[in-house]
Amino acid sequence: DAGITQSPRHKVTETGTPVTLRCHQTENHRYMYWYRQDPGHGLRLIHYSYGVKDTDKGEVSDGYSVSRSKTEDFLLTLESATSSQTSVYFCAISESGPGELFFGEGSRLTVL
Amino acid sequence: KQEVTQIPAALSVPEGENLVLNCSFTDSAIYNLQWFRQDPGKGLTSLLLIQSSQREQTSGRLNASLDKSSGRSTLYIAASQPGDSATYLCAPGVGNQFYFGTGTSLTVIP
């Protein structure tokens, strides 16, 4: 299994609070992705990174920011969480874009 | 924008049957296409990756085909087993991104 760790795995928070999800990889892959998965929508790309400090927006980036200061870590931040951001968030990695994609176990976020 | 459709949305078969899952996509200018399985409450597991220059890819009881010009891929599962029960997703790769369908939920009945 690809070495991808997401934290926290579960989080409940209140509307308006900031939230940061972390993805850590031990594979030294260049590309890292954040997806959200919602019933009826499948997986949708939020942001991705193609190297340290190099990021780009995905399909549903509004309300989210990302940072990548080290190859192994990719952070997803919700500056002010809303109930519409209740979802399961998945981190994925690949050696190249779009190379074979490997996923973490997911982080379930509930915004009350 | 790439639109991905998977039919059927759900499928229930008796153990031992061979089955085909379908995936269609609107933009044929793909770099590759990947099939995944997802168990409830879990992440996605990569099954097969087909490059755009390939017609098919095989792994054990799984065979995936790709017809890029018509925007279609199929996943063939031979001799299905209860352990194959999961949701199967296809994802064509375009640029630096993969676009996902909503998946086919498969139940194999013992």
Q: Average pLDDT for consecutive 10-residue bins of chain A (112 residues)? A: 90 97 96 94 93 94 96 97 97 88 96 96
Q: What is the pLDDT of residue A99?
A: 85
- Rounded distance between C-alpha atoms, residue A44 and residue A80, angstroms: 20
Instruction: Extract the tokens encoding B53.
Output: 């220059």
Evaluate whether B80 touches B17 at the Cβ level (below 8 Å).
yes
pLDDT of residue B12: 97
Percent of chain B with pLDDT over 70: 100
pLDDT value at residue B103? 95
| Distance (Å, whole) CA B50 – CA B44 | 17
Mean of pLDDT values over B12-27: 96
Q: How far is A73 from chain B (nearest CA, A)?
A: 18
A35: nearest Cα among A79, A100, A101, A81: A101
pLDDT at B3: 92
E-strand ranges in B1-110 read 4-7, 10-14, 19-25, 32-38, 44-51, 56-59, 62-67, 72-77, 86-94, 97-98, 104-109
Q: Long-range contacts for B56-63 (Cβ within 8 Å, ≥24 apart)?
A: B62/B35
Q: Quick one: which of B16, B56, B36, B9 has its CA closest to A101?
A: B36
Question: Residue A15 pairs with which residues in a beta bridge?
Answer: none
Please, are residues A38 and A105 in contact by the beta-carbon 8 Å criterion?
Answer: no
Residue in B97, B99, B104, B105 to test binding to A, most A beta-carbons within 10 Å: B97
Q: What is the CA radius of gyration of chain B?
A: 13
How much is the pLDDT for A1?
Answer: 60
Average pLDDT, chain B: 94
DSSP secondary structure letter of residue B4? E
Q: What's the pLDDT at A97?
A: 74
Q: Which candidate, B32, B45, B25, places its Cα nearest to that of B87? A: B45
Contact call for A97 and B101, based on CB within 8 A: no
Instruction: Give me the pLDDT at residue B102, please.
Output: 92
- For Cα atoms A110, A47, A97, give the angle at the middle one, nearest 5 degrees: 135
- Provide the percentage of residues in chain B whose pLDDT is more than 90: 88
Residues of A in contact with B101 (CB under 8 A): 42
Average pLDDT in the B18-34 region? Answer: 94
Q: Which two tokens stand for residue B104?
A: 């086919």
Other CB atoms within 10 Å distance of the CB of residue A27: 14
What was the pLDDT predicted at B96? 83
